[in-house]
Amino acid sequence: MYWNELNPQKRNILFKFDNSDIKKDKDRILIKLKTNVFNFVNLFFSSSNIHGLNHLTDKRRHYIEKYVLCCSLHYLPILFLLVVTTILCDRLIWVIAICLSIYGSAILGSSTWNRYQENPTVISMDREYKEWATALPAVTLCPINKIDDQLFDELVQKKFSNYTNEEKEELRTFLVLLANATYGTFKEVPVYNRISPNDYLDYVMSLSGSVSYTISNSHVDIFSSIELVPSVTELGLCYSYNGYWKNHNISEFPKIEVMSGTPLDGDIFVQITSMNFGYMGFVHSPYEAPDVACRIFPSPENFYKTLDVTALSIFSTPEIKYLSPRQRGCRFLEESDLEISPEMYTYNMCRNQCRMDQARKLCGCVPYFYRPLKKYKICDVEGMHCLDQYKEFLIKLRNTTGVDEKVNCGCFPPCDDVNYIVEGDNTIQWFLGTNLKWGLIKYPRMRLKRNVLFGFTDVLVSIGGTAGLFLGCSVLSFLEIIYFFIFRLAFTSLYKK
């Protein structure tokens, strides 16, 4: 009864939990922790060889010395300093001086690092033209007529013998236009659903007729084994001479034989005669693949074409390899990150992959003539018609409607490359078949050399000099920071435990 008669407030007071002792213990722990941290930082400041830190912890200075020290540091009028130092203590002045020094060293150090990341190379001229060989440009010829009538008749008898004459003609029209389909001509391909898109390339390759030709060159004793090699490009099935590329855009590494010469070897040229086809021609580097956006040199049957070519090459020194592709602004052949050409990198192959990515984004598929990959769906006829709506964008990889904006493909030029310029293009009618002759009209007397101008050693020297100028730091100063805040801090904690 007595307990029930008590006031509820009094009952709460009697049984209230007293946590004052716990709060006091927590306060003592926090005070001890703050003291230990302060003493440890104070020890580092007093023993560090970084200029200015020891002045923040020195307690043995006379009051007058503070004013003399400030006057000697800032070179300001003494009367003005006396007014300032009466308001601010010397430690605050040193904190400001140290912060400004750290800020100055950080600004100069970051500019040095940005220079190393963005512009560490230099391109100079090399004029020792007698000491290097210049490669003859490669030529890729894409026949205008890619379907052989005899092979088509054999295919019909084998697989489509039950077709009517109208259906056979419909199939032939489809295959002829499919074999010549590329950006700009996709809309000409008629709708045909009896062949799977995954089989398009197989049909085109199986119906390509045999080509006949005769090759002669200025160095026949050395380069007599080079022949036309079939390759699949963005213009369909083509044939390359003096290049790297094989079927399905798969590159051959190690290198194949490339025709080249020096001024001591005399003129260098190649002539392909008695060809049984008209063609669309590309002139490009032997280490490059043709691109649909490149200049095309066409020739119908029974014409003789001559191309006069000049060259300008660029090469990179071995030190360039230690930089990243973004730093040097180029890639070596063996540094391929391309899915369609993992064996070898070229600029045009990178553009081809970029064109594939853009085609998939726009229409959900890619043309049949690219290297088949699981992630890319092959376009049917409707997909090709969709791509034709964006032909200008896909060819140039540049948005020409509205704001002129280039697609960021992330493609770097090759570190070792040769640029060819066709200075003369002459075509005359010829009654002895289709002929093509091309060569270097003169050897280049200058080439460009890419070299390292600002390497990692220069970065260390520059940043170290900046830190020494502002803070008096050295390598030992940074090792001292690591020692204090890792090793000594760890061992101090273990010792106290």
SS (H, E, C) the chain: CHHHHCCHHHHHHHCCCCCHHHHHHHHHHHHHHHHHHHHHHHHHHHHCCCCCHHHHCCCCCCHHHHHHHHHHHHCCCHHHHHHHHHHCCHHHHHHHHHHHHHHHHHHHHHHHHHHHHHCCEEEEEECCHHHCCEECCEEEEEECCCCCHHHHHHHHHHHCCCCCHHHHHHHHHHHHHHHCCCCCCHHHCCCCCCCCHHHHHHHHHHCCCCCCCEEEECCCCCCCCCCCEEEEECCEEEEEECCCECHHHCECCCCCCCCEECHHHCCEEEEEEEECCCEEEEEECCCCCCCCCCCCEEECCCEEEEEEEEEEEEEECHHHHHCCHHHHCCECCCCCCCCCCCCCCCHHHHHHHHHHHHHHHHHCCECCCCCCCCCCCECCHHHHHHHHCCHHHHHHCEECCCCCEECCCCCCCECCEEEEEEEEEEEEECCCCEEEEEEECCCCCCEEEEEECCCHHHHHHHHHHHHHHHHCCCHHHHHHHHHHHHHHHHHHHHHHC
- Other Cβ atoms closer than 10 A to 311: 19
Domain boundary, last residue among 418, 434, 452 = 452
Question: Using an 8 Å Cβ cutoff, are 177 and 375 in contact?
Answer: no
Cα 162 to Cα 116: distance, rounded to the nearest angstrom: 70
Look at residue 321 and tell me if it is in a domain: yes
- 187 and 57 in a common domain: no
Residue 76 neighbours by CB under 8 Å, 6+ apart: none
Look at residue 24 and tell me if it is in a domain: no
- The answer on pLDDT for 313 being more than 70 is yes
What confidence category does residue 496 fall into, taking pLDDT thresholds of 50, 70 and 90?
A: low
On average, the pLDDT of the chain sits at 80
**Using one digit for the tens of pLDDT, what is the confidence trace for 325-357?**
999 989 998 888 898 888 889 999 999 999 999
What confidence category does residue 259 fall into, taking pLDDT thresholds of 50, 70 and 90?
A: confident
- 481 and 360 in a common domain: no
- 469 and 440 in a common domain: no
- 477 and 347 in a common domain: no
- 487 and 430 in a common domain: no
Look at residue 106 and tell me if it is in a domain: yes
- 222 and 150 in a common domain: yes
- 323 and 211 in a common domain: yes
The predicted pLDDT at position 250 comes to 43
Place of tokens 């602004």: 329
Question: Using an 8 Å Cβ cutoff, are 200 and 100 in contact?
Answer: no
- The answer on pLDDT for 236 being more than 80 is yes
Number of domains in the chain: 2
Cα 363 to Cα 383: distance, rounded to the nearest angstrom: 6
331 is in which domain, residue-wise? 126-452
- The answer on pLDDT for 299 being more than 90 is yes
The predicted pLDDT at position 43 comes to 67
Strands 303-316 and 434-440: parallel
**Using one digit for the tens of pLDDT, what is the confidence trace for 131-166?**
788 888 999 999 998 888 899 988 888 888 888 889
Joined tokens for residue 493: 């904690």
Mean pLDDT of the region 242-255: 52
- 391 and 267 in a common domain: yes
Place of tokens 């051959």: 252
Question: Using an 8 Å Cβ cutoff, are 303 and 427 in contact?
Answer: yes
**Using one digit for the tens of pLDDT, what is the confidence trace for 403-461?**
667 888 889 999 998 899 999 999 999 888 899 999 988 888 888 999 998 888 888 88
Look at residue 8 and tell me if it is in a domain: no
Look at residue 148 and tell me if it is in a domain: yes
Nearest CA to 406 out of 354, 349, 353 is that of 354
Look at residue 76 and tell me if it is in a domain: yes
- 410 and 285 in a common domain: yes
- 414 and 306 in a common domain: yes
Joined tokens for residue 181: 């389909």
- Other Cβ atoms closer than 10 A to 166: 8
- 188 and 113 in a common domain: no
The predicted pLDDT at position 3 comes to 47
What confidence category does residue 57 fall into, taking pLDDT thresholds of 50, 70 and 90?
A: low
The predicted pLDDT at position 67 comes to 47
- Considering only residues 13 and 458, tell me which one the structure prediction assigns the higher pLDDT: 458
Look at residue 13 and tell me if it is in a domain: no
Look at residue 486 and tell me if it is in a domain: yes
Longest dimension (CA), the chain: 133
pLDDT above 90 coverage of the chain, percent: 29
Mean pLDDT of the region 301-327: 91
**Using one digit for the tens of pLDDT, what is the confidence trace for 368-408?**
999 888 889 999 999 999 999 999 999 998 876 666 678 88
- 194 and 99 in a common domain: no
Nearest CA to 313 out of 416, 426, 414, 218 is that of 416
Question: Using an 8 Å Cβ cutoff, are 85 and 93 in contact?
Answer: yes
